[in-house]
Amino acid sequence: MKHALLQAFLFVLLSLLAGPTLAQTGGSVGIGTSAPDASAVLDVAAPNKGLLIPRLDSAARVGIPAPATGLLVFQTNPRQGFYYYSGAGWRYLPDQTRTGGDNLGNHMATRVLNLQGNALVGTGTSLPAGVRGMGVRADGGLNLAQNTPGENLYVGYQTGQANTGGFHNQFIGRQAGQANTTGNENQFSGYQSGYSNTEGSDNQFSGYQSGYSNTEGRENQFSGYWSGYSNIRGKENQFSGHRSGYYNTMGSYNQFSGYRSGFYNTTGNENQFSGYGSGKNNTTGSRNQFVGYGSGIANSTGSNNWAFGYLAGPATEDLINAGAIGYDARVSQSNSLALGGTGTNAVRVGIGTGAPAAQLEVQLPSASEAASLKLEHRGSNLIVRPLNGGNTASIIENTAGNLLLEPSGQGNVGINQTNPTYRLDVGGSIYATGVIISSDARFKTDVRPLTGALAGALALRGVRYRLNALGLSRGGDAGQQVGLLAQEVEKVYPELVSTDAQGYKAVNYAQLTPVLLEAIRELAAEAATQRARAIQAEATLSSFEQRLRALEAGADRAAAH
């Protein structure tokens, strides 16, 4: 092309040239040669000179009025070089002196740009389907290796190959979005990501075969190798991590984050799994929230469950509304909450304190009389609270009714006793303003008199004593005491003595009352008998005295005569 332009330009100069070096042969003109080349209209030869073209700056070049097609000038300012007028505008003549490559930009090319039969830039049919070129189409779309309409960007072999009406898609990677026909505004990145998508729109898949099976699912975001691989129509899911949501087909509104999180989920909806393998075995369960390594791993069909912590979660696959919090915390029944693990993994819970000293410790603000614990159920109102501000005493009360301890009768209540033997086992003294003991005749059978009470009472002995270390350790009081010895009482009245699981004996002092009562009755009967005998003896004595006085009176009369 340059030769043709130069020939046209030089032909105009022929009329200006003359001299001994001018020659014409067979229609060719030679300057500096008598044998011009037959293929040239003008052949200029010189051993040490060249052809000088008009030299202009860019402003002067652009200012040339009505430039003729083929007009050639040399521009002196950047971009410096030869320019020719093509009829439609000025064109720069690139440097053709380099070999082995070409410049794309302002740097030295290092490799050959070899398009062969493919187009670098083209529109319409100049980029037919299957052409491996780069094209800027008339509709504004940019094709890299493909050619389809709709302002789509395709990069990679067979990306978006089947697209017909889809628009605003971006497919990058071999066969990414290969089957897409009418899906819109998708972004697929990675080998065969979104491969089967046909109508699904507003999806973002990133990673090797991510969203591979998706056909109609929409508004999904899958990130990671094989993430969302089996999804077909599931919508509005977010899967992040290697094989996250791998088997999901129809499940929607799920959020899985972590390696194989939600791996086996198929149709479960509205789940949130975060952590390595979290919710891995969930299939159809919905509305679950599992956070932590392997959390909720046993759940499959259960719903409305939640777990926070390493391996925390339901212990079985089908629980409902069950929660677990803490390292390896497991909940084994529905509608329940497990706080902390078991055994060595058990935790303490503090409310108002960061260093609980018990399984549950509640600390109130200083000088507070508020309830530390309050339980309300069907009108009852159980409260545990301090007595008052600054007092170390505590209160357990039901402000709405009775307070019952072991009403089922299945256990014993111990005060200062770790292993109570009796319904109420108190290790220490009891103070009461009155004690009422049930004794209704309607509760009793085989009633018979208590005999020999006086002899029995006389067989007992009261003693003074002090408790030794063993007695004190069981809640007894120090100091001088008065009482009976259980072993001695047992020999006389065994029914008044009981023995606990450790073999220690106790005396039912209250039931000594009938013994003492009957002993008193026996004493009273004996006293009455003695009184009757005394009265009889006194009457006999009085009769004897009367008779004696009569005899004495008779004797006195006889003596007087």
Give the E-state strand segments of 200-354 in sequence order: 204-206, 221-223, 238-240, 255-257, 272-274, 289-291, 306-308, 313-314, 323-325, 330-331, 337-339, 349-351
Residue 61: predicted pLDDT: 94
Task: State the pairing for strand pair 28-31/42-44.
Answer: parallel
Give 138's contacts (C-beta < 8 A, 6+ positions apart). Answer: 123, 124
Residue 15: predicted pLDDT: 41
Residue 149: predicted pLDDT: 64
Residue 140: predicted pLDDT: 47
The pLDDT mean for the chain works out to 85
Lowest mean per-residue pLDDT among 121-125, 268-272, 541-545 = 121-125
Lowest mean per-residue pLDDT among 15-29, 173-187, 311-325, 375-389 = 15-29
Comparing 102 with 302, the larger pLDDT belongs to 302
Average pLDDT over residues 57-67: 94
- H or E stretch covering 533: helix 512-560
Lowest mean per-residue pLDDT among 83-97, 111-125, 417-431 = 111-125
Residue 5: predicted pLDDT: 47
Average pLDDT over residues 101-127: 53
Residues 73, 9 contacting (CB under 8 angstroms): no
Residue 371: predicted pLDDT: 66
Percentage of the chain with pLDDT > 90? 52
Comparing 374 with 266, the larger pLDDT belongs to 266
CA 379 to chain centre: 36
Residue 36: predicted pLDDT: 86
Tell me: the pLDDT tens digits for 130-181?
544 555 544 444 555 455 567 888 888 999 989 989 999 999 999 999 999 9
Average pLDDT over residues 287-312: 98
As beta bridge partners, residue 313 has 330
**CA separation (Å) from 560 to 70, 415, 551?**
208, 93, 14
| pLDDT(108) > 80 | no
For residue 42, the SS3 value is strand
Residue 124: predicted pLDDT: 45
- Tell me how far apart the alpha carbons of residues 161 and 128 are, in angstroms, rounded to a whole number: 12
Lowest mean per-residue pLDDT among 144-148, 379-383, 410-414, 554-558 = 144-148
Using left for φ > 0, alpha for ψ between -120 and 50, and beta otherwise, residue 277 falls in: left
> Quick one: three-class SS letters along 222-261?
EECCCCCCCCCCCCCCEEECCCCCCCCCCCCCCEEECCCC
Place of tokens 């009470």: 453
Start-to-end CA span in the chain (Å):
209
Q: Model confidence at 123, in pLDDT bands (50, 70, 90)?
A: very low
Average pLDDT over residues 117-137: 51
Using left for φ > 0, alpha for ψ between -120 and 50, and beta otherwise, residue 145 falls in: left
Residue 247, token pair as written in the block: 């088997």
Give 176's contacts (C-beta < 8 A, 6+ positions apart). Answer: 156, 159, 160, 188, 189, 190, 191, 192, 193, 194, 195
| pLDDT(478) > 60 | yes
Please provide residue 20's backbone torsions phi and psi, each rounded to the nearest 5 degrees. Answer: -65, -15
- Tell me how far apart the alpha carbons of residues 238 and 235 are, in angstroms, rounded to a whole number: 9
Angle at 485 between CA 480 and CA 487, to 5 degrees: 155
Residue 105: predicted pLDDT: 56
| pLDDT(20) > 60 | no
Residue 401: predicted pLDDT: 82
- Tell me how far apart the alpha carbons of residues 237 and 254 are, in angstroms, rounded to a whole number: 5
Give 396's contacts (C-beta < 8 A, 6+ positions apart). Answer: 382, 383, 384, 403
Please provide residue 532's backbone torsions phi and psi, each rounded to the nearest 5 degrees. Answer: -65, -40
DSSP state of 343: G
Comparing 319 with 10, the larger pLDDT belongs to 319
| pLDDT(420) > 90 | no
Residue 473: predicted pLDDT: 85
Comparing 366 with 344, the larger pLDDT belongs to 344
Comparing 417 with 182, the larger pLDDT belongs to 182
H helices within 409-511, ranges in order?
453-459, 469-473, 486-492
| pLDDT(115) > 60 | no
Average pLDDT over residues 44-52: 88
Residue 391: predicted pLDDT: 67
Q: Model confidence at 438, in pLDDT bands (50, 70, 90)?
A: confident
Q: Model confidence at 476, in pLDDT bands (50, 70, 90)?
A: confident
Average pLDDT over residues 359-377: 74
Residue 521: predicted pLDDT: 92
